[in-house]
Every structure is written in C-alpha cells, then in structure tokens.
C-alpha cells in the first residue's frame, strides 16, 4: 500500500481493537461516529461528556488523554448553533471552539496520538465563493457575517492540524462537512440549525392546528444536507484512505432551495397550512454547495437521500417527544 508524506499507509484498515476517542460523543456528530465505529467492529471506542471532562480546560483535557492514551482521535466537539445563536453569542462561539481545538491538538500530541480527524464546517468558506465550493476557496474572500466567529475558530483548527503536520510530522487530517441532520439533532428553536428548526416549527403547528408557519428569510437560499450517519461513514473512510494537509469536503454534491426544504418538511410532518416567509429576517449565505470530487475520488459516496433521512429524523424526534412525557 502507498505511503503518504507523513508515512501513513494509505488504504490500511484501522485495527479494530485500537482505542478511538470521539470528542463530543454525546452530540449529533459524535454519537453518530460512535455508532458507526461500533457497527464496523471497533471494540474500544471512548467518549466523555462535558460534565466529566471540560475540553475548554487545557489541564483537564491533557490529563484525560494521558490517562486514556487513544491511538485515534475524532474531534466532533464544538459549540454549534444556527444563525440566531451565532449572531447573539459570537464571543462564546469563537473562544469555546478555539479552546476545544487547541486543547485537543496539544493533548493528542503529548499522548502521541497516531491519527486525528478534526471536523470543521462548510461555513469556513467565503460567503460568495464560486459554487460548488472547492477546498482551495478557503481564505479567498469575506466570510458570512452571521457566523464569522465560528468560522474563524474552525479555520484556526485547520491551521492547527496543518501546523502539527509540518512541525512534528503528524498524520492528522481535517474534514469540512456540509449542513448535517439526523438522530440526536438539536430541535431548540433558539439554537438549532435550519432543518431541525423547521421540523420543530411544522410539527408544533400541526399539533396546535395553526393555519400558518413562518420561515425566516426569502426561501431562496440553497443548502446542501448530509445525514449524520453518512458523515460518520465518511469519517472512517477518511481515517483509512486520506492523509493530506488540505481539508477535504464531505457532502452530497446536491442542494435545494430553503422553500423546497420547507415544503418537504411540511409534507413529512403532515402540516397542511400556509408557509409564510419573513423577509425581514436574514437569509445568510445565498448558496453553499460543496465540491465533493476529491472525496468521491477516494471511493466514498453518501447512501441516505434527503426525503428518507428527513422521515427517519422526524420519527426519532417523535420518539424523543413521547419519551419525555
């Protein structure tokens, strides 16, 4: 098998008894990664809740990795949220994500972690980047101002991975997922992303018998959506087949207008009223479609379509609602 510049043997399956630490294992992405790794035969997958180890605390993070000594780290830990949350709390989105990433990279280096995958976000790219967005669009233009603090933190994470590769020869990588959804998502209207927020809105309106549902913006921006279980599959594929300093995009290669998404959500939850668009609210980036040709060249493609994934996510949401009663 060919060796990468860092000496990593590309295409070599990870040893299934290797200890893998998934940072952020209780979140949307982290829980999906844990599920996928265990289903793939990994027998030593480690997670930790923030109440046990606060990854914003450098000393606590260093102690934890020194004690657990993982061979592989997947960084799915982050403070995340939609337009409203990012706009209201840029300091927390900047500082918390900077600290989490820096602490994990430093602790992983001290613990001699062989492979590390840092997960970022497609919001790192310029607001008006050429579509579909290639990885080399990074740092070529101004960011979307509604989530620029989060984006800057994630760009710093990419640089952290690249810096450890250059200075210490670490076989560490970073990947930039598109908009994610699935079981484990956050459905709080104040802090959620667009798709779970729409599910919550349309479900609540159907239950209450409301005649209308208001959606932020004009409905014209286009977004790409990747089921989180597909992302988890891509993470393992990248750990085994990718070793390059450049971040790599993870997405489906197709997007939909928010208006079409809202209509699909309405049909999925059974809402039959009118959809009203509040044009006084921000649209965010006009379009955000990732070029996923580099990932496809490595032999990976998603398997869960949007309609199928949305239906299963709504079923999970209903199960959680029933369990909380």
Q: Report the distance separating Cα 127 and Cα 141, nearest Å.
A: 7
Cα–Cα distance for residue pair 116/75, rounded to 1 Å: 8
Tokens in use for 123? 């919001």
> Which residue is associated with the tokens 């089921």?
227
- How many other CB atoms are there within 10 angstroms of residue 7's CB atom? 9
Q: Is 27 annotated as a binding residue?
A: yes
Is 228 annotated in some ligand binding site?
no
**How distant is the alpha carbon of residue 137 from its chain centre?**
19
182 is in an annotated binding site: no
Q: Which of 125, 150, 164, 181 is catalytic?
A: 150
Catalytic residue flag (residue 128): no
Question: 282: phi > 0 → left, psi -120 to 50 → alpha, else beta; which?
Answer: beta
To the question of whether residue 283 is assigned a binding role by annotation, the answer is: yes
Q: Is 216 assigned to a binding site?
A: yes
Closest by CA to 250, choosing from 270, 230, 220, is: 230
Contact 269, 203 (CB under 8 A): yes
Helix (H, G, I), strand (E, B) or coil at 18: coil
Residue bearing tokens 């594929």: 237
Q: Is 143 annotated as a binding residue?
A: no
Q: Does the annotation place 289 within a ligand binding site? A: no
154 labelled as ligand-binding? yes
50 is in an annotated binding site: no
33 is in an annotated binding site: no
119 is in an annotated binding site: yes
The answer to whether 209 is annotated as binding is: no
Answer yes or no: is 301 a known binding residue.
no
Cα(11)–Cα(243) distance, rounded to whole angstroms? Answer: 10
Q: What is the rounded distance in angstroms from the CA atom of residue 81 to the CA atom of residue 192?
A: 5
Cβ-Cβ contacts under 8 Å for 227 (sequence gap 6 or more)? 180, 181, 182, 302, 304, 309, 313
**223 known member of a binding site:** yes
Is position 186 annotated in a ligand binding site?
no
Is 29 one of the annotated binding-site residues? yes
CA dist list (Å): 91 to 19, 88, 291: 34, 9, 30
User: For residues 35 and 28, what is the distance between their CA atoms, to the nearest angstrom?
Assistant: 11
Q: Is 95 exposed, middle or buried (0-12, 13-18, 19+ CB in 10 A)?
A: middle
Contacts of 318 (CB under 8 A, 6+ apart): none
30 is in an annotated binding site: yes
State the binding site.
24-30, 119-122, 154, 177-180, 193, 201, 216, 223, 283
Where in the sequence numbering do the catalytic residues fall?
Answer: 150
State the binding site for substrate.
201, 216, 223, 283
State the binding site for NADP(+).
24-30, 119-122, 154, 177-180, 193
């Amino acid at each position: 098998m060919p060796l990468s510049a860092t000496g990593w043997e590309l295409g070599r399956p990870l040893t299934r008894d290797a200890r893998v630490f998934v940072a952020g294992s209780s979140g949307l992405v982290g829980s999906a990664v844990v599920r996928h790794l265990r289903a793939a035969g990994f027998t030593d997958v480690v997670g930790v809740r923030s109440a046990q180890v606060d990854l914003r605390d450098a000393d606590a993070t260093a102690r934890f990795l020194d004690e657990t000594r993982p061979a592989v780290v997947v960084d799915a830990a982050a403070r995340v949220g939609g337009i409203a949350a990012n706009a209201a709390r840029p300091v927390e989105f900047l500082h918390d994500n900077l600290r989490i990433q820096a602490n994990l990279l430093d602790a992983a280096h001290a613990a001699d972690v062989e492979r590390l995958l840092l997960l970022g976000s497609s919001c790192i790219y310029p607001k008006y980047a050429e579509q579909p967005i290639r990885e080399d669009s990074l740092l070529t233009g101004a960011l979307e101002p509604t989530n620029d603090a989060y984006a800057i933190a994630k760009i710093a994470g990419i640089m952290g991975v690249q810096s450890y590769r250059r200075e210490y020869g670490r076989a560490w990588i970073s990947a930039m997922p598109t908009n994610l959804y699935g079981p484990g998502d956050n459905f709080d209207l104040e802090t959620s992303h667009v798709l779970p927020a729409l599910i919550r809105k349309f479900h609540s309106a159907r239950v209450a018998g409301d005649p209308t549902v208001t959606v932020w913006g004009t409905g014209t921006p286009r977004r790409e959506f990747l089921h989180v279980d597909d992302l988890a599959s891509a993470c393992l594929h990248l750990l085994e087949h990718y070793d390059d300093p450049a971040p790599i995009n993870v997405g489906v290669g197709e997007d939909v207008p928010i208006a079409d998404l809202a209509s699909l959500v309405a049909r999925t939850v059974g809402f039959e009223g009118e959809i009203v668009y509040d044009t006084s609210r921000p649209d965010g980036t006009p379009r955000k479609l990732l070029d996923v040709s580099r990932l496809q060249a490595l032999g990976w493609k998603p398997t869960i379509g949007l309609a199928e994934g949305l239906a299963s996510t709504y079923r999970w949401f209903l199960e959680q609602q029933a369990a909380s009663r």
